[in-house]
């Protein structure tokens, strides 16, 4: 239920570091997903991604699949995703 403070991504990680480098390379839709996940402690459900990114269900499916294959997202099952440690 409670996460260690050091396990929660800091806002600075959004604008610098490895996620910034990836977000600059992967395209706007995928970067939006990463942005939302960084702002939500590195975890989100499929429905949360749809609502918070404003992307369609099909776009989320395509982008999430691509991010998983790039080893940037981890599929936790039941439509739950988390950011990989990079």
Instruction: Give the rounded percent of residues in the chain with a pLDDT score beyond 70.
Output: 81
Structural contact between residues 67 and 33, judged by C-beta atoms closer than 8 angstroms: yes
What residues have CB less than 8 Å from 60, skipping those under 6 apart? 33, 46, 49, 50, 53
pLDDT of 17-53, one tens digit each? Answer: 788 888 889 999 999 999 999 999 999 999 999 999 9
**pTM metric for this prediction:** 0.79
Pairing of strands 73-77, 43-45: unpaired
The four Cα atoms 75, 79, 83, 85 give a dihedral, to 10 degrees, of: -30
- pLDDT confidence bin for 8, thresholds 50/70/90: very low
What pLDDT was estimated at residue 12?
A: 47
DSSP code of 3?
A: P
What pLDDT was estimated at residue 11?
A: 47
């Amino acid at each position: 239920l409670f996460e260690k403070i050091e396990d929660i991504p800091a806002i600075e990680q959004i604008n610098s570091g490895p996620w910034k480098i990836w977000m600059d390379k992967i395209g706007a839709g995928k970067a939006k997903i990463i942005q939302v996940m960084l702002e939500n402690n590195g975890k989100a459900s499929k429905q949360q991604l749809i609502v918070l990114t404003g992307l369609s269900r099909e776009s989320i499916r395509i982008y999430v699949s691509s991010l998983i294959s790039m080893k940037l997202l981890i599929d936790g099952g039941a439509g739950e995703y988390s950011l990989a440690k990079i």
